[in-house]
């Protein structure tokens, strides 16, 4: 299972490089089901893996002038604060056993996996649906910020990231296009930088609460980073839109499988 896990780690990076997102949604299931990491710890590991991979992926975007630093700060700061607070204070405060419905005991681990699976379903719908350009890509257009909504969105995305350990690119990119009026290419690049910052800083909130298997963590991260370079190369040769839809259907099936497995097959 570990060999399959390492192959899947490479796939996480390839998907990030190939379709610009979605790969991070696989990180927690890979860690939990293939490497047998406890769900709460897996969400912490995921933050480091997703953050490191996104950081490496953001460098070529920055060189290509595809990152808007002002937007990254305005959206990123409340998101970073929220994800750090969630990992440092909210997650440790959740009791190990929450409530019981029939024969099902809802534990902290079960809650994490169910919340993650629901997020997977929403992410898959976002990937499957055909996207229409919301704005024209006018690089010289005056950027207008809806500050209250951007700040609120940043906090919500940060809390979700903190709870489930996923980057949330499928939430951030539409928000940047609609609320910050960024062209799509800049939204994707800026999203990568925001994901990197909030995930890595959020991860530091776990350092005092969990012991880390650095050997596993660095191995998976290294493979994901190699994968993002492979994905970037492949993206120039294949249709990203078709792959995104296919990957979306795969994520949908995985999300439903996790819900069924955790509730009825465990």
Q: How many CB atoms lie within 10 A of CB 119?
A: 23
How many H-runs (helices) and E-runs (strands) does the chain carry?
11, 2
- 38-48: per-residue pLDDT in tens? 988 888 899 89
Model confidence at 135: pLDDT above 50: no
Residue 95: strand, helix, or coil: coil
CA distances from 193 to 45, 97, 111, 222 (A): 18, 36, 29, 18
Mean pLDDT to the nearest integer, 44-55: 90
Model confidence at 172: pLDDT above 60: yes
pLDDT band at 21 (very low <50, low <70, confident <90, very high): low
pTM of the model: 0.81
Q: Which of 149-153, 163-167, 213-217 has the lowest mean pLDDT?
A: 163-167
pLDDT at 209: 65
- 97-127: per-residue pLDDT in tens? 988 888 888 899 898 889 889 988 888 887 7
pLDDT at 175: 79
For residue 253, what are its two tokens? 């099936």
Q: Which of 155-164, 174-183, 199-208 has the lowest mean pLDDT?
A: 174-183
Model confidence at 218: pLDDT above 90: yes
Q: Which residue has the higher pLDDT, 52 or 140?
A: 52
CA distances from 148 to 9, 74, 76 (A): 37, 10, 14
What separation, in Å, do the N-terminal and C-terminal C-alpha atoms of the chain show? 18
For residue 225, what are its two tokens? 């980073």
Model confidence at 223: pLDDT above 90: yes
pLDDT at 103: 83
Model confidence at 228: pLDDT above 60: yes
Model confidence at 16: pLDDT above 80: no
Considering the chain, what is the average pLDDT of its residues? 83
CA distances from 12 to 15, 25, 93 (A): 5, 8, 30
Q: Which residue has the higher pLDDT, 214 or 145?
A: 214
The string of DSSP letters for 203-263 reads HHTTTTTS---HHHHHHHHHHHHHHHHHHHHHTTTS-HHHHHHHHHHHHHHHHHHHHHIII
Share of the chain above pLDDT 90, in %: 19
- Unique residue bearing structure tokens 């899947």: 8
| Residue from 244, 142, 145 nearest 188 by CA | 244
Return d(Cα 266, Cα 24) in angstroms, integer: 24
pLDDT at 217: 94
Exposure string of 62-72, with b = 16+ CB inside 10 Å and e = fewer, is eeeebbbeebb
Share of the chain above pLDDT 70, in %: 89
């Amino acid at each position: 299972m570990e060999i399959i896990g390492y192959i899947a780690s490479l796939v996480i990076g390839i998907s990030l490089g190939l379709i610009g997102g979605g790969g991070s949604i696989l990180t927690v299931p890979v860690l939990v089901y293939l490497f047998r990491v406890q769900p709460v710890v897996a969400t912490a590991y995921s933050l480091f893996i997703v953050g490191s991979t996104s950081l490496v992926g953001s460098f070529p975007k920055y060189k290509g002038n595809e990152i808007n630093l002002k937007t990254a700060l305005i959206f990123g700061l409340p998101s970073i604060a929220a994800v750090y607070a969630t990992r440092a204070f909210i997650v440790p405060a959740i009791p190990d056993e929450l409530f019981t419905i029939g024969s099902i005991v809802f534990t902290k681990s079960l809650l994490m996996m169910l919340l993650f699976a629901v997020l997977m379903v929403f992410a898959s719908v976002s990937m499957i649906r055909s996207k229409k350009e919301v704005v024209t890509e006018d690089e010289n257009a005056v950027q207008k910020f809806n500050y209250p909504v951007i700040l609120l969105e940043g906090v919500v995305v940060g809390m979700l990231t903190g709870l489930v350990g996923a980057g949330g690119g499928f939430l951030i990119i539409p928000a940047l296009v609609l609320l910050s009026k960024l062209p799509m290419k800049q939204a994707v690049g800026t999203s990568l930088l925001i994901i990197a910052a909030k995930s890595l800083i959020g991860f530091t909130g776990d350092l005092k609460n969990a012991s880390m298997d650095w050997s596993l963590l660095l191995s998976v991260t290294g493979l994901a980073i190699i994968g993002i370079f492979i994905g970037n190369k492949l993206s120039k040769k294949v249709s990203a839109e078709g792959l995104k839809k296919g990957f979306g259907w795969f994520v949908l099936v995985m999300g439903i499988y996790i819900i069924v497995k955790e509730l009825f097959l465990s």
